[in-house]
Amino acid sequence: MKTMTCQDLGGPCDLGHRAESADEIIKAQDRHLKDQVHAGDASHVPARDDMKGRWRHPKKSLDWYNNVKKGFADRQADDVR
């Protein structure tokens, strides 16, 4: 398992998402942004709008996706004891 924060993925907070793959991290971030905006957290709106745009135009967002995958790959596995 590895951890990336909301900020690592372009969001405003330091909530950590733990997953086995970059794709799982991205899905967790998408859910987090939806939940925060739904709860009325305006600070997450810009990141949510960016995420929605990425899902609509995946070819244009390939650089962001590749950067997240590289960032995930470069991270050390969580030290869980």
Closest CA to 54 of 21, 20, 22, 30: 30
- What end-to-end distance do the CA atoms of the chain give, in Å? 12
Q: How many CB atoms lie within 10 A of CB 72?
A: 21
Instruction: Give the pLDDT score at 68.
Output: 94
Contacts (Cβ under 8 Å, ≥6 apart) of 80: 1
Q: Tell me the pTM.
A: 0.88
Residue indicated by tokens 């995946």: 58
At 56-67, the pLDDT tens digits run: 887 878 999 999
Question: What is residue 80's predicted lDDT score, i.e. its pLDDT?
Answer: 60
Task: Give the start-to-end residue ranges of the domains of the chain.
Answer: 2-73
